[in-house]
Amino acid sequence: MRQLASKGKDAVYHALRSLYRALPLSLEIKIAMKAKAMPLVQTLAGISGAWQGPENTLSALQYRIFTNKDIARRHCQAMLHDFLGAGGRITLPSSPNPRLSVVIVLYNQAELTLACLQSLAEHLPDESEVILIDNASTDATDALLQRVDGAVVIRNDHNLHFLRACNQARDLVKGEYLLLLNNDAQILPGSVEMAISILAENSQAGAVGGRIINLDGALQEAGSVIWQDGSCLGYGRGEHPDRPEYRFRRPVDYCSGAFLLTRTTLFQEMGGFDEAFAPAYYEETDYCIRLWENGYQVLYDPDVALYHFEFGSGGSAHANTLMKRNQGIFVRRHTAYLQAQYPADPKNILLARSHSPKLRILYVDDRIPRPRYGSGFPRACRIVHELSKLGLVTIYCTNHAYESWEEIYVDIPKEIEVMRGWDASELRSFLQERADYYDILWVSRPHNMAHILRMQKAGLISAGTRIIYDAEALISFREQERAILQNDKATITVQEEMRLAAAADLVLAVSTAEADQFQSGGVAQCSVLGHCLQVAPTPASFAERSGFLFVGALPKLDSPNADGLLWFSRTVWPIIQQALGGAARLDVVGYTPDPELFAGHLAEGIRLVGTVPDLAPWYNTSRVVVIPTRFAAGIPIKAHDAAAHGAPVVASALIATQLGWKDEHELLQTSLDASAFAAACVRLYQDEVLWNTLRHNALQAVTRDTDAARFRTTIENALRPPNRRSVESTPTSG
């Protein structure tokens, strides 16, 4: 019932979203109307909290959502009253050698301070110190501070305000990292650890901020934009914090001082906040720009998240006056910097959301490129890793776009935007919303290329946008072979695939053989982009290994891997068992979403293992890898991967041809005759000299064929306009 209810809410959500996107209004008008319209829509649709998608990770954390600030404040006041009345205490970390120093400036708002300190007590790392600076509060702040253990408390006799109080603590902090935190903020689990790890792992990162969420559950900001006139915009304000636009890491102009982690030495060397902006506002904006000017990055990360009672630390009317005054100071201080910024216009929000002026690349494929899926996805995963170093990448999945955020970023960089929840049916709306935004469309698989060409025909892809068709395989050739073997009809013809590919500005084939076929079919611009692997031979000797290994994803019974495995099990394996005395075993390792499909189809001695976290131990203990593929296209990464791990292979002639490897030199090649295939397997299993020869030669071949530098150079050249490409080295095989 719970799943049905969830699906029902998802259906309502998608229907409302499609209706919203279909409105014949400009994007800026839609943005303006959304904040006013969504509460009514939520009520009518029965959706609680902020505007939600299929997954509301924030409500799962069970933080309370408030419809307005008055209710939130009364709730916090009641909590403070109960806390003080019950004699409660808060214990904060108090490390003598802290890695992190947290500085919080207080001025009244004791009820908000309590919520802030409680979140720190729960979520701060042990190697922390907390410095609380009370700017002569007149409410219950002093009574609250008397109930706090572990913090360093500084009491000022008058109000220094936020900026000067932060500078007061500048030379007192002992930690390597300094967190400036508003007292009206509540950090969410894991946020501090994530922010610290970003600075620790990236020497060029000077500051980190995160998703700031208002108490009604809507975003306050996901990083901030500085416009040419010095005004600022919190990116995503009023939106749902789990939307894809706000779930990836990126460099930004600045992050709010509500939560700003920086390196202590940087803050001290740069003199802290510029006191020209005292008492408050624009000080963190100025600090972040000075970081950029000194060669450091300011990074936004969605896994750094907090709730914020906006303007809880100062009156809203007074805040607006201060902002206007300090904007003028900021403009005078940073005239040269601001000249390179975008003008303040809603049309420029997408362009301005990232500080780095890189190529903007839309990557279109069926699903998140996860290596375990096979079917070209291991290579695709390497491609998006390289693309993310060269540009701002958005992945648009035409299918399977509903994994959790945690699953999505297991295999791909967090710097990639993933349009989770969108699919092929919404591609038109997506391209309309992002008209003229992308420089490059990188498209994989014929049916996705067909989607893109329909969008191009509809005028949704600008003339200046280049289309790169990444042919992970010549699908039509594979389909012809499959149709013959399975007495079926091919899903795509050679002519249709060539027509789709020829419409691209550039086609990338996985081998010289397939590149030649594309060019023979009328494709003018074609380059070769093979695999990219790390060669890491496993150490076990021939004598220390036993058994056979099959590696490959098994998504369905009629897939190339499943077809080959079932044929091998039915016709080849019984002969092998008879020859080796019945003690032989075959381990089948790889992504198998539905193991029950194979129940009763695998012979005795064959074990279906499924997905494993690391293939190396399996390669290290198995003596022979079998690849009994009967129909396929492209280059089989399973053969390259086995060779890279020093595991000799027996493969069908089709696989050997695709690799360009020689029989009895890099592998044992055999026909699809069951007796011949079994004989080759038994021979390699028993011949140590042949085994070592194949292992040695295959390691040399895979090192040559999957060179990382050539892989990277080919991608870099592909992104350049044709007249700016360098000479590409084309692999002699694979």
pLDDT of residue 729: 40
pLDDT in tens, 622-651: 999 999 999 888 888 999 999 999 999 999
Given strand 624-627, what is the order of strands in its sheet?
606-610, 586-589, 548-551, 624-627, 649-652, 668-670
> What are the distances in angstroms from CA 671 to CA 51, 125, 463, 627, 635?
59, 61, 49, 12, 18
How does DSSP assign 111-178, residue by residue?
HHHHHHHHHHHHHS-SSEEEEEEE----STHHHHHTTEES-EEEE-SS--HHHHHHHHHHTT--SSEE
Q: What does the alpha-carbon distance between residue 12 and residue 562 come to, in Å, rounded to a whole number?
A: 38
CA-derived radius of gyration, the chain: 30
Give the model's pLDDT for residue 65. 64
Question: Residue 375: what pLDDT?
Answer: 86
In the chain, what are the domains? 2-48 (no CATH), 71-352 (3.90.550.10), 359-528 (3.40.50.11930), 548-705 (3.40.50.2000)
Rounded CA-CA distance 724/120 in Å is 53
Residue type, 177: Y
Q: How far apart are CA 686 and CA 543, in angstroms?
A: 10
Rounded CA-CA distance 728/717 in Å is 8
Q: What is the pLDDT of residue 20?
A: 53
255, 287 contact by CB (below 8 A): no
Q: For 495-506, write each residue's pLDDT tens digit.
A: 999 999 999 999
Distance CA 53, CA 13 (A): 6
Q: Check: CB of residue 406 under 8 Å from CB of residue 242.
A: no
For residues 121 and 88, is the Cβ–Cβ distance under 8 A? no
Distance CA(733)–CA(704), nearest Å, equals 9
Provide the pLDDT for residue 32: 43
Residue 347 is classified by DSSP as G
Do 694 and 649 contact (CB within 8 A), yes or no?
yes
Three-state secondary structure call for residue 468: strand
382-400 pLDDT, tens digit per residue, is: 999 999 999 999 999 999 7
CA atoms within 13 A on the CB side of 434: 21
DSSP 3-state assignment of 541? coil
Return the pLDDT at 18.
52
Give the DSSP H or E segment for 100: strand 100-106
Half-sphere exposure of 34 (CA within 13 A, CB side): 22
Residue with tokens 């990236």: 202
Please give the pLDDT value at position 19.
62
Judge whether 188 and 115 are in contact, CB under 8 Å. Answer: no
**DSSP symbol at 425:** G
Peptide bond into 93 cis (omega under 30): no
CA distance 473 to 375: 9
Residue 416 burial (CB < 10 Å; 0-12/13-18/19+)?
A: buried
pTM: 0.86
Residue ranges of alpha helices (H) inside 185-315 are 191-201, 264-269, 283-293
CB-CB contact of 502 with 523 (8 Å): yes
Which positions ≥6 away from 37 have C-beta within 8 Å?
none
Residues 665, 693: Cα–Cα separation, whole Å: 7
Strands of 466-471's sheet in order across: 417-418, 391-397, 359-365, 440-444, 466-471, 506-509, 526-528
Beta partners for residue 234, in sequence order: 224
Structure tokens that stand for 629 in this block: 């593929």
Please list the residues that pair with 153 across neighbouring strands: 132
User: How far apart are the two ends of the chain, measured CA to CA in Å?
Assistant: 50
| Per-10-residue mean pLDDT, the chain, length 734 | 43 54 47 47 43 33 61 90 95 97 97 96 97 97 97 97 96 97 96 98 98 93 98 96 96 97 98 95 97 97 94 62 93 95 96 90 96 91 97 94 89 97 94 95 96 96 95 83 79 89 96 92 94 96 98 92 96 96 91 90 94 96 97 90 98 94 97 97 98 98 95 96 56 36
